[in-house]
């Protein structure tokens, strides 16, 4: 029996009922595995190498096709649109590829216009990586009363604008719990505890192949880095063996070649002399 894809309506009905699970996938293989595992939401994006996202729109399409029964949220490159009409256009493009919801950390004004055009939007509060220069870099937000109030106000503003969900990144769980209670939309935690409506991690963290800095809020479940190293060594060894077989003329093996009967070969040699 195939998994049923959750609609926006069904996702919103889950608020307060159970925790929602969400993961960023980088390729078809991860998308297939996430769907088979029963993930509620998979996320992908394209064209943001500064965030380590090298996928293209075609990759987004392939991921959609690979996991047709899982809610797919996607995003356009940051600052690739500057007004609501451009935002709607690019969101519609992703939805024509089969995406179910659209991520943007833009203003509530743009989110209102997207909602008006029936685009399900997920936004961001707390540590918003693309806007980190405004908060002094990558750091926790909401550890002071003033910052905590600002996070709540920001979330309520996005909720009023019509967002269906918001990523809540690196704020204290106590503050995240208040945010969750103040909004109708879903709150999805990244390093903000289980007081939100759900959790969001990146596959490279879950599978243990992140290179460079490992975010504090990430959690590793498998060591794929080690497995990838093993695979690389085995690839090299396989190529070396192939090179050796080529140089030592080991491709006359009857298992991989065809034969000609001696009688037919003699006929061939006789005909060859007449050429």
Of 217, 220, 214, 222, the residue nearest 196 (C-alpha): 217
Q: What is the DSSP letter of 6?
A: P
Catalytic residue status for 169: yes
Beta bridge partners of 34: none
Pairing mode, strands 71-75 and 165-169: unpaired
Sequence-ordered list of residues with C-beta below 8 angstroms from that of 108, at least 6 positions apart, any chain: 157, 158, 160, 161
Of 198, 126, 129, the residue nearest 164 (C-alpha): 198
- Residue 82 CA neighbour count, 13 Å, CB half: 0
Q: What is the DSSP letter of 48?
A: B
What is the CB neighbour count within 10 angstroms for residue 13? 11
Of 185, 45, 31, the residue nearest 129 (C-alpha): 45
Sequence-ordered list of residues with C-beta below 8 angstroms from that of 43, at least 6 positions apart, any chain: 22, 23, 24, 25, 72, 73, 74, 75, 103, 200
Q: How far apart are CA 171 and CA 101, in angstroms?
A: 24
Per the document, the length of the chain is: 275
Of 114, 135, 110, 113, the residue nearest 125 (C-alpha): 135
Q: Please identify which of the residues 30, 35, 113, 169 carries the catalytic annotation.
A: 169
What is the CB neighbour count within 10 angstroms for residue 68? 13
Residues labelled as active-site residues: 169
């Amino acid at each position: 029996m195939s998994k049923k894809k959750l609609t926006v309506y069904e996702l919103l009905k889950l608020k307060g009922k159970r925790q929602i699970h969400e993961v960023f996938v980088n390729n078809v293989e991860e998308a297939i595995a996430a769907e088979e595992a029963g993930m509620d939401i998979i996320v992908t994006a394209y064209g943001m190498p500064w965030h380590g996202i090298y996928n293209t729109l075609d990759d987004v399409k392939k991921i959609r096709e690979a996991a047709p029964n899982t809610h797919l949220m996607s995003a356009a490159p940051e600052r690739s649109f500057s007004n609501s009409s451009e935002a709607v256009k690019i969101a519609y493009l992703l939805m024509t590829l089969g995406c179910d919801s659209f991520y943007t950390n833009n203003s509530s004004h743009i989110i209102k216009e997207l909602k008006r055009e029936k685009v399900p939007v997920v936004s961001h509060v707390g540590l918003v990586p693309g806007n980190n220069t405004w908060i002094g870099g990558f750091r926790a937000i909401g550890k002071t009363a003033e910052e905590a109030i600002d996070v709540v106000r920001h979330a309520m503003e996005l909720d009023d604008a019509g967002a269906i969900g918001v990523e809540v990144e690196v704020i204290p769980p106590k503050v995240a719990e208040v945010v969750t209670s103040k909004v109708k939309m879903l709150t999805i935690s990244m390093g903000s505890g289980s007081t939100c409506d759900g959790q969001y991690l990146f596959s490279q963290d879950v599978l243990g192949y992140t290179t460079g800095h490992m975010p504090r809020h990430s959690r590793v479940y498998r060591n794929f880095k080690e497995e990838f190293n093993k695979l690389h060594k085995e690839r090299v060894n396989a190529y070396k063996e192939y090179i050796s077989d080529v140089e030592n003329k080991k491709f006359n093996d009857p298992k991989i070649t065809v034969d000609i009967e001696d009688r037919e070969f003699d006929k061939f040699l006789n005909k060859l002399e007449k050429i």
